[in-house]
Amino acid sequence: MKIAVVGATGMVGNVMLEVLAERNFPLTELLVVASDKSIGKKLNYKNKEYGVIGLEQAVNEKPDIAIFSAGGETSKKWAPKFAAVGTTVIDNSSAWRMDETKKLIVPEINANILTKEDKIIPNPNCSTVQLVMALAPLHKKYGIKRLVISTYQSITGTGVKAVKQLENEENGVKGKMAYHYPIYQNAIPHCDVFEENGYTKEEMKLVRETQKILNDKTIAVTATAVRIPVVGGHSESVNIEFENDFDETAIRKLLHETDGVIVQDNTDINSYPMPIYAKGKDAVFVGRIRRDLSQPKTLNMWIVSDNLRKGAATNAVQIAEYLMENELVKP
């Protein structure tokens, strides 16, 4: 099984290599791929050094699976080229997510819809992945009518330059700015670019991708996305209005039984999810589960997950594992 990691030198690419190693992914050949400026750079995988190669060479190598984390423009240009030589592409960018011919996959929820013909498989946005992991079982049982979401997102979602900006500001060093404003001791209600409707692209991803993954366009969704000076992961405050009423104990039990979800919800001992504990873990943590007292059939939850792991690298690797286990891709 020949695997290519495209964008291997980036923040998510590095985590992808870590996840592949941790999960003992059964690859027989690894290609680490990046832009021309990184060709020849050495990366470590399982205590072995691999030289970075360019995209053209990677296509010629005809890998069985290529996991992309190299940005939307790269994906638009190169994913079809890989698919044309028989490679199955799992893409972390937003390039293909809302393409009606592509399936947006979170393995625990909807991997069963994949077929051998799916040669470009989009990975959802990081904030959407953790959200739907908690929502999917609840929607199935109670029917979600409306969602009001506020996100508190890690700077790692922006990349290395944002991490460097925070470090510089903490240390009083002037440097390049990833954001329009300082992020240290600040909260910026601006993730990605603004669309004509006044919402940011990140906020609209939560709307559109949630409806697509849960396969229900009737769910009303509104979101506000905020960038905060945190490294460990994204946090989300979610208000859920259901079609049918619920019991809070049953909600906790259902989430506890959901693969990939950990319920951390005991206010007697101040137990609730936080990014500092989610960092480096693959689970989605859910807590502060309580009924909305202002209207019927409505619930509040707090959802936290490492955006570089389950929100990106781990979800992509899980898709690759599913493809192999179900013989949807063969060496």
Distance CA 261, CA 254 (A): 10
Please state the separation of Cα 174 from the chain's center in Å: 31
106 shares a domain with 149: no
**What number is the average pLDDT over the span 44-66?**
96
Q: What tokens does 7 get?
A: 């964008």
Q: Considering the domain boundaries, does residue 330 fall inside one?
A: no
- pLDDT at 128 (0 to 100): 98
Q: What tokens does 223 get?
A: 């979101």
Q: What tokens does 300 get?
A: 């509040």
294 shares a domain with 163: yes
pLDDT band with cut points at 50, 70 and 90 for residue 133: very high
- State the pairing for strand pair 284-291/234-242: unpaired
Q: Considering the domain boundaries, does residue 296 fall inside one?
A: yes
187 shares a domain with 47: no
Contacts of 108 by beta carbon, 8 Å cutoff, 6+ apart: 133, 136, 258, 259, 260
- The angle at the Cα of 173, spanning 168 to 175, to the nearest 5 degrees, equals 70
Q: Considering the domain boundaries, does residue 23 fall inside one?
A: yes
Taking CA atoms, 233 is separated from 24, 136, 158, 290, in Å, by: 24, 21, 12, 22
173 shares a domain with 90: no
89 shares a domain with 17: yes
Give the domain CATH number at 189: 3.30.360.10
Q: Considering the domain boundaries, does residue 251 fall inside one?
A: yes
Number of domains in the chain: 2
Q: Considering the domain boundaries, does residue 211 fall inside one?
A: yes
Q: What is the pLDDT of residues 142-169, one digit of tens each?
A: 999 999 999 999 999 999 999 999 999 9
Give the domain CATH number at 30: 3.40.50.720
156 shares a domain with 192: yes
Q: What tokens does 211 get?
A: 């409806």
- The angle at the Cα of 195, spanning 192 to 198, to the nearest 5 degrees, equals 105
pTM: 0.96
140 shares a domain with 8: no
Distance CA 206, CA 209 (A): 6
Is 331 a residue whose pLDDT tops 80?
no
Q: Considering the domain boundaries, does residue 105 fall inside one?
A: yes
- What's the domain range around 66? 2-124+312-325
Residue 190 known to be catalytic: no
Q: What is the dihedral of CA 66, 71, 74, 78, to 10 degrees?
A: 20
Distance CA 279, CA 259 (A): 19
253 shares a domain with 201: yes
Catalytic site residue from 180, 190, 234, 256: 234
217 shares a domain with 301: yes
Give the H or E element holding residue 129.
Answer: helix 126-142
Contacts of 323 by beta carbon, 8 Å cutoff, 6+ apart: 65, 88, 114, 329
Cβ–Cβ < 8 Å for 256, 181:
no
162 shares a domain with 115: no
Residue 139 known to be catalytic: no
**What number is the average pLDDT over the span 9-23?**
96
Q: What is the pLDDT of residues 68-104, one digit of tens each?
A: 999 999 999 999 999 999 999 999 999 999 999 999 9
pLDDT band with cut points at 50, 70 and 90 for residue 330: confident
Reduce the DSSP state of residue 236 to 3 states and report it. Answer: strand
224 shares a domain with 193: yes
- pLDDT at 157 (0 to 100): 94
173 shares a domain with 43: no
Produce one character per residue of 13-35: b if its CB has 16 or more CB atoms within 10 Å, e if not.
Answer: bbbbbbbbeeeebebeebbbbbb
Q: What is the pLDDT of residues 191-217, one digit of tens each?
A: 999 999 999 999 999 999 999 999 999
Q: Considering the domain boundaries, does residue 331 fall inside one?
A: no
Question: Residue 55's beta-bridge partner residues?
Answer: none
Give the H or E element holding residue 45.
Answer: strand 42-45
Q: Considering the domain boundaries, does residue 65 fall inside one?
A: yes
